[in-house]
Amino acid sequence: MSNAQGTQIYVEGLDYRLVTVGSITRIQRLVPSTITDGETVLVDYRYETSGTAEFDTLASALSVNVSFLNTLTAFVRYDWQDTDVRSGSLTNPVNDRDRVELGITMSNQFLDGWSIDGQYRHVVNDEEISPYVSDLLDAGLSSSLFGRFKVAVSAGISEIDYENSPEDVQQVTYRLRLGGRAFNRSRFSYEVSYLDDAGGSEPRRQVRHRLSFQWSYRQVQFDLRGYYFQDRLGVTERDETRITGQLTRVF
C-alpha cells in the first residue's frame, strides 16, 4: 500500500492492518499512522483464482413454521449445498454448506395501544470457507401516545463465533425511536442507537443520532435534517455531523 503518488510505502502493523473474515478481507487504518484523514491510497494485491473445472451443484432447503397462542411462531430452517467436480481441478474450496436455523418470534398487543415484539435465532452454519455458530436475541416495545406520537424502544444481543477467524461478534445494541406531529402542519422523527461489540480483536462502539423535521403551509415547505455519528474501533475514532435545511415554494 502506498500514497497516490507512489512515493510513500505504508507498513502493515504500523500504518494499517488486515482483517479477514471468511472470504472478505478489510483494511483498517491504525493510530498512530502516517496515512492522513481523507487521503487516497493505492493498494496492490494478488488474488488466487479457483482454477478451471466442470462441476454440478445440488442445493435443497426445508422450512417448518408452527404458530400457537396467536402470538408465538417457532420455526426450523435447513438448507444444504453440495458440489460434485466432474472434470478439472479447483484450487479454492467451492464452499459446500449445511445450515440449520432454529428460532421463535413473538408479537403481542396489551394494555391500551402497547405492543411487544421479540425474536430468538440460533444458527449453525457448517461450510468450507467460514463456518460459524450464531445466536441472536432481540426485543422491542412500542406504542402510540395521545394519538399524535409514536415511541419504540428495543434492545438486542448478537453473538457469532467464527471457527477460522478471531474476528468474532459479541454485540449489544439499544435503540429509541420517537415520531409524530408536534403541532399542526408539522411532522418530526428522532432516532438514537448505541452499539457495543467486544467480540473481535478490537472493541467497537457506535453511537448514531438522526433527527428530521418537516413543516408545511400552503405551497411553502421547510425540511430540517440532522445526523451525528460516532464510531470507535480500538483506538481509532471517527465523528461525523451533518445538518441540512431546505425551504421550498411551489408555484
Q: Which residues pair with 207 in a beta bridge?
A: 194, 230
Residues 98, 31, single domain; the answer is: no
Residues 80, 174, single domain; the answer is: yes
pLDDT in tens, the chain (251 residues): 888 888 888 888 888 888 777 667 888 887 777 888 778 888 888 777 777 888 888 999 999 999 988 889 999 999 999 988 888 887 777 788 899 999 999 998 877 778 999 999 999 999 988 899 999 999 999 998 777 789 999 999 999 999 888 889 999 999 999 999 877 888 999 999 999 999 888 888 999 999 999 999 888 999 999 999 999 887 778 889 999 999 998 87
177 by Cβ neighbours in 10 Å (0-12 / 13-18 / 19+) ranks as: middle
Residues 78, 1, single domain; the answer is: no
Residues 36, 139, single domain; the answer is: no
Q: What is the CATH number of the domain that holds 215?
A: 2.40.170.20
Identify the pLDDT of residue 205. 94
Identify the pLDDT of residue 62. 95
Residues 160, 99, single domain; the answer is: yes
Residues 40, 55, single domain; the answer is: no
Please answer whether residues 174 and 207 qualify as being in contact, where contact means their C-beta atoms are separated by less than 8 angstroms.
Answer: no
Residues 111, 75, single domain; the answer is: yes
Residues 162, 145, single domain; the answer is: yes
Residues 28, 67, single domain; the answer is: no
Residues 29, 57, single domain; the answer is: no
Q: How many other CB atoms are there within 10 angstroms of residue 233's CB atom? A: 18
Identify the pLDDT of residue 142. 93
Last residue of a domain, one of 12, 31, 47: 47
Identify the pLDDT of residue 182. 75
Identify the pLDDT of residue 22. 66
Annotate 182-209 with DSSP letters as a single string.
Answer: SSTTEEEEEEEEEEEE-SSSS-EEEEEE
C-alpha grid cell, residue 247: 425551504
Which pTM value belongs to this model? 0.77
200 by Cβ neighbours in 10 Å (0-12 / 13-18 / 19+) ranks as: buried
Chain centre distance of CA 241:
21
Residues 187 and 223: their CA atoms lie apart, in Å, by 10
Identify the pLDDT of residue 110. 76
Q: How many other CB atoms are there within 10 angstroms of residue 237's CB atom? A: 11
Task: Give the count of domains, the chain.
Answer: 2
Identify the pLDDT of residue 236. 78
Residues 112, 98, single domain; the answer is: yes
The whole domain housing 15 covers 1-47
Residues 42, 58, single domain; the answer is: no
